[in-house]
Structure 1
Amino acid sequence: MEVEVKLRLPDSTAHQKLSDVLSPFHLQTHFQENVFFDGTAAELSSKRAVLRLRFYNSDSRCVVSLKAKAVIVDGISRVEEDEEEIDPSLGRACVAEPWRIASVNSSRILKRVKEKFRIGDKGFICMGGFRNVRAVYGWKGLKLELDETQYDFGTCYEIECESADPEGVRKLLEALLTENGINYSYSEVSKFAIFLSGKLP
């Protein structure tokens, strides 16, 4: 189970202001490309599951994720998650020709998806995706991730932090934002849900 605090920032100005505040704690920045898949008969989405390939910094790394039953309440997200790395060239081949996913035997997760969700003979489809710039900070013993998510229809800004104590972390982040005059709101939907809706929240 992945548990994250997710606070939405209203615009690029708030995002830049928070980036400036956190700059002494910057660890690294990732340029991510997220691509999503389903079965041709909506075998995953009908069960509230998501299959994602995430490429880092062009094709230096690729992570396949299976997420299911996501719930976000008051800016705290809980989702069942399983992840593993795969060869980026294999990931790109699956994006170009989604039917290849069904024949991949080197990935535990891709085999699991095919078997658990009973993907039929028509296989997988690529749903498209979005890009994300993620700045990572080490702050007060926490790993903060400041996201600029770029959809075809606009850009969203968000600060995230995975933690076993989400309520405590949420209070720390709210204090940080309030003390620096940065407006925020609780994230109510995932980045994937925004992508599916085709509009900014």
Structure 2
Amino acid sequence: MEVEVKLRLPDSEAHQKLSDILSPCHANTFFQENVFFDGANAKLSSNLAVHRFRFYDDNSRCVLSLKAKPVIYNGISRAEEHEEPFDPTIGRACVAEPWRLLAVDSSEILKQVREEFGVGEGGLVCLGGFRNVRTVYNWEGLKLELDETKYDFGTNYELECESLSPERDKKLLEKLLKTNGIEFSYSKVSKFAIFRSRKLPDS
């Protein structure tokens, strides 16, 4: 189970202000490309599951993931999540020809896609995706991820923090933002849901 605090920032100005404040705590910056797949008959999305490739810094690294049963409430997201490292070259080939994915026998995630969700006949369909600039900070013992997510219909800004104590950590992040005069709201939907709706969420 992945549990995250997710706080949405209203614009690039708020994103830049928070980035400047956190700059002494900077750890990494990643350029991510997220590409999503579904069964030919929407067998994954109809069961509240999301199947994704995430490429880091072009093709330096690739991670295959499967998320299921996501719930976001009051800025806290919970979802079942499985992740595996994946060969970037093979990943790119699967994006170009999605039928290749179900032929990969070494992946437990793809085994689950075939067996639990029944994706077989008709194979997988590539849904497209979006790019994300993720800046990581080590702040007050927490790993903060400041995202600038670029869709072809607009840009979304979000602060995330994976947490074992989400209510406590949410209060810490709220205090950080309020003390520095940075507006925010609770994220209500996932990045994938925004991508599928083709509309940025209201503030």
**Which residue of the partner structure matches residue 34 of structure 1?**
34
User: Hey, what's the Cα distance between the residues in 2 that align with 1:192 and 1:113?
Assistant: 18
User: Hey, what's the Cα distance between the residues in 2 that align with 1:12 and 1:114?
Assistant: 41
User: Hey, what's the Cα distance between the residues in 1 that align with 2:121 and 2:51?
Assistant: 18
SS in structure 2 opposite 1:122?
Answer: coil
User: Hey, what's the Cα distance between the residues in 2 that align with 1:101 and 1:140?
Assistant: 41
The equivalences for 1:147-186 within 5 A come to: 147-186=147-186
Q: C-alpha offsets along residues 122-154 of structure 1, whole Å, 9 cap, x if unaligned?
A: 100000000000000000000000000000000
Q: Could you tell me which amino acid in structure 1 is paired with residue 18 of structure 2?
A: L
Q: Could you tell me which amino acid in structure 2 is paired with residue 150 of structure 1?
A: K
Give 1:116 deviation, angstroms.
1.2
**Which residue of the partner structure matches residue 71 of structure 1?**
71
The equivalences for 1:105-116 within 5 A come to: 105-116=105-116
The structure 1 segments of at least 4 consecutive aligned residues displaced by more than 6 Å after TM superposition are none
Give 1:120 deviation, angstroms.
3.0
Q: Could you tell me which amino acid in structure 2 is paired with residue 96 of structure 1?
A: A
Count of matched residue pairs = 201
**Which residue of the partner structure matches residue 127 of structure 1?**
127
CA RMSD of aligned residues (A): 0.6
Q: C-alpha offsets along residues 23-55 of structure 1, whole Å, 9 cap, x if unaligned?
A: 000001000000000000111011000000000
TM-score scaled by structure 1? 0.99
User: Hey, what's the Cα distance between the residues in 2 that align with 1:120 and 1:27?
Assistant: 41
Give 1:102 deviation, angstroms.
1.0
User: Hey, what's the Cα distance between the residues in 2 that align with 1:29 and 1:110?
Assistant: 29
User: Hey, what's the Cα distance between the residues in 1 that align with 2:103 and 2:111?
Assistant: 8
Give 1:173 deviation, angstroms.
0.3
Q: Could you tell me which amino acid in structure 1 is paired with residue 48 of structure 2?
A: R
User: Hey, what's the Cα distance between the residues in 2 that align with 1:105 and 1:112?
Assistant: 11
SS in structure 1 opposite 2:175?
Answer: helix
Give 1:163 deviation, angstroms.
0.5
User: Hey, what's the Cα distance between the residues in 2 that align with 1:101 and 1:42?
Assistant: 16
SS in structure 2 opposite 1:109?
Answer: helix
TM-score scaled by structure 2? 0.98
Q: C-alpha offsets along residues 154-185 of structure 1, whole Å, 9 cap, x if unaligned?
A: 00000000001000000000000001000000
Give 1:114 deviation, angstroms.
1.3
Give 1:108 deviation, angstroms.
1.6
The question of 1:25 aligning with 2:32 is answered no
**Which residue of the partner structure matches residue 104 of structure 2?**
104
Contact kept? 2:102, 2:120, Cα under 8 Å? no
SS in structure 1 opposite 2:70?
Answer: strand
Q: Could you tell me which amino acid in structure 1 is paired with residue 40 of structure 2?
A: T
**Which residue of the partner structure matches residue 58 of structure 2?**
58
**Which residue of the partner structure matches residue 47 of structure 1?**
47
Contact kept? 2:75, 2:187, Cα under 8 Å? yes
Percent identical among aligned pairs is 70
Q: Which is worse superposed, 37-46 or 110-119?
A: 110-119
